[in-house]
Chains A and B, each alone.
Chain A
Amino acid sequence: MHQFSQQIFSGFAAGAIYASLALALVMIYRATELVNFAQGEMAMFSAYIAWSLVNGGVSFWAAFVITLVVSFLGGMAIERVIIRPVENAPVLAAVVVTIGLALIFNSLAGWIYSYTVQDFQSPFPDRPVLGALITTRDLGVIGVTLVMLFLLFAFFRFTATGLAMRAAAQNPASARLCGIPVGRMLAIGWGLAAAIGAAAGVMVAPVLFLDPNMMGGVLVYAFAGALLGGITSPVGAVIGGLIVGVTENLVGTYLIASQLKLTVAFALIILVLVFKPHGLFGTAIVRRV
């Protein structure tokens, strides 16, 4: 029984990591109806920026804020310069552009910072809590993720910009007719997603250890979590991420063939999606002929 609860808590800790990146994926999807395959690598790069600042003597929280701002601006710039040219092109072109972007960020990080694992101290002390079931650092990750979720939810629900962004994503032509600057909405959407990703990366780097390939595996699980929860729902993204984390842990523990952990975990997730093809909290999009 002890093993079971330990795995559950480990699963929550891992799941919080996936959830935080999943939030960024949902943000981009709601703003642009695009899956950003570069989200993980952008988050990793932001984490390196924060690490460089901390190494240069800046305090952790100051570095955190600076990184968020830099990432926000960077995200907007990427949307304007890199994504804008393929906005009206077929979806596949945009997908390939995000794949290319991911390769560029990964390669640049490896070149600038080398592939040696780097030490990134977490602001949360690493003390075991609840009888060694979970550490304060893992609780910190969960906490920050929940805060981001709350902010995101409030943004879309209660602010004018959030509303304008949802309109711009769903129906750009009509939104323009209403006077919404669609281009700027898209840029802000990317900026926010980059900032969320940066927060995720900085929180997660002390846990996973910082190296250029840190986020590759995380992106896949975050993608699964976001879709499981419903790609348009921030709440769904967090719940989906947590479910993926716990599932992955339990499958690894109780499956006889632990070498097939990833395969079985994904099979289970897809099984759920077979019954709910738009995710647990997603909305079915009705298309008219």
Chain B
Amino acid sequence: MTMKQIIVRGLATASLVLTSGLALAAGQYGPGVSDTEIKIGNTMPYSGPASAYGAIGKAETAYFNMINEQGGINGRKINFITRDDGYSPPKTVEVVRKLVEEDQVLFIFNPLGTPPNTAIQGYLNDNKVPQLFVATGADKWNDPKHFPWTMGYQPSYRIEARIYGRYILKNLPNAKIAVLYQNDDFGKDYLIGLREGLGDKADKMIIATQTYETTDPTVDSQIVSLQGSGADVLLTAAIPKFAAQAIRKVYDIGWKPTHFMTNVSSSVGAVFRPAGPEKGIGIISAAYGKDPTDPQWQDAPDFKEWLAWMKKYNPSASVADANNVYGYGVAFLLVDVLKACGNNLTRENVMKQAASLHGLVGPMSLPGISISTSATDYAPFKQMQLEKFDGTTWQLFGEVISGGSGS
């Protein structure tokens, strides 16, 4: 070889080594990722009948603002694109397609609502886009075999209702149960879960059910009707406004059942105070997170941190609104997952990291409750703790219960 050939070959090899080295250092990028930003998509109902949940999207935006101000994740800022779908599944399909095809986001994070998520599940899995930490308590998001790109987040409504069912079997074996539930997937899941928890005694023990629509002004008539059935246990699967009405009406008509309340409406500030705290004494619920309006957590360090974040980054939001704790918690989890990705920010790796959580403790979680996932277990939160309301605060009792699917 001539000197020239040696030099050219040497330079070529050197530049090859250098660029591949740089590529390794830069990591692999999926769509929406660059050295300075990560684009994330989200849909929330900011308008329409479910607009109360829009607070979650606002809380997440506020959390990511804080993270960005603190320097971002591994030097990259989060570009959080959240859009309104009005809780209408056709709209959700449209919005998500825009996020994936036009905005080129890396994944869809915490989309809210069972029907909206059902509408987009097929599309996202077909296109291998993560549908991460969906904001619904439906059971069906824990199915990695058929939908490897979809992962849930909170303990499902059925897990919660099963816990109530088993508690009733054990402590109130002769109970006659009445159920008030919202006439949609959320409410129906509680009925199904309760039946699962009661096993083959379900038909005998559940003697009356009543439903309501979110357009109904009150549920007073339903409560009166349920009392008339002679039941001594009541399960209320209702959103905060109707839960408060139910609590009040049960008290007013002099009915004293053992009253189970869905975790969704267990907020002291948003439900029990408007209803009249003395009217809710003895109500049982289950929780996985701390109620920000519950006096017993006022001095907890994570509560204080959350409160400081609310005041600085989310000041227009209400401290009594549990949605702000929810948004904070799920955003925290996402940041943790993204940090674990390092510079390998592909869709595959995001799912992989999300499915590799072991005993992670989220902020504002109840003591003893942690997040864990695996390749066959796509349910980050599975544990809940029973609690009883004493007129001022929720008294936790019993042990942390782990609800598996179907067991």
Contacts and interface: CB of A to CB of B under 8 A. Distances in A.
Nearest to B253: A132
10 contacts: A3-B225, A114-B317, A115-B54, A115-B55, A116-B270, A117-B244, A207-B218, A217-B214, A217-B215, A218-B217
Contacts of A118: 274
A171 interface: no
What is the predominant secondary structure among interface residues of chain A facing chain B?
A: helix
A248 B225 contact: no
B228 A3 contact: yes
B210 A252 contact: yes
A10 interface: yes
Interface of A: 2-3, 6-7, 10-11, 13-14, 17-18, 107, 110, 114-119, 126, 128, 132, 135, 207-209, 211-213, 216-218, 220-221, 248-249, 252-253, 258-259, 261-262
B9 to A, nearest CB: 68
Interface string B242-272: 0011000000111000000000000000110
B17 interface: no
Contacts of A3: 224-225, 228
A10 to B, nearest CB: 5
B91 to A, nearest CB: 16
B224 A115 contact: no
B330 to A, nearest CB: 19
Contacts of B320: 116
A252 B221 contact: yes
A259 B211 contact: yes
Interface of B: 47, 49, 51-52, 54-55, 183, 209-211, 213-218, 220-222, 224-225, 228, 240-241, 244-245, 252-254, 270-271, 273-274, 276, 316-318, 320-321
A209 B228 CA distance: 25
A253 B254 CA distance: 19
Given A10-B224, A252-B225, A132 B217 contact: no
B241 A14 contact: no
B241 A211 contact: yes
A10 B253 CA distance: 11
A59 B183 CA distance: 39
A213 B228 CA distance: 30
A209 B225 contact: no
B241 A209 contact: yes
Nearest to A115: B52
A248 B54 CA distance: 31
A221 B245 CA distance: 19
Contact of B318 (A107, A114, A249, A258): A114
B241 A220 contact: no
Chain A CB count within 10 A is highest, among B215, B218, B274, B316, for: B218
B47 A107 contact: yes
A212 B48 CA distance: 11
B326 to A, nearest CB: 13
Chain A CB count within 10 A is highest, among B52, B270, B317, for: B52
B51 A132 contact: no
Given A115-B55, A132-B252, A258 B210 contact: yes
Lowest 9 A-B CB distances belong to which pairs? A115-B52, A3-B228, A217-B215, A119-B274, A249-B221, A253-B225, A116-B318, A116-B321, A217-B217
Contacts of B52: 115-116, 211, 213
Contacts of B316: 114
Given A118-B274, A248-B221, A258 B211 contact: yes
Nearest to A131: B254
A216 B320 CA distance: 24
Nearest to B319: A116
Given A114-B318, A128-B253, A249-B221, 11 more contacts: A7-B221, A114-B321, A115-B55, A116-B240, A132-B253, A132-B254, A213-B214, A216-B215, A217-B216, A218-B217, A259-B183
B49 A6 contact: no
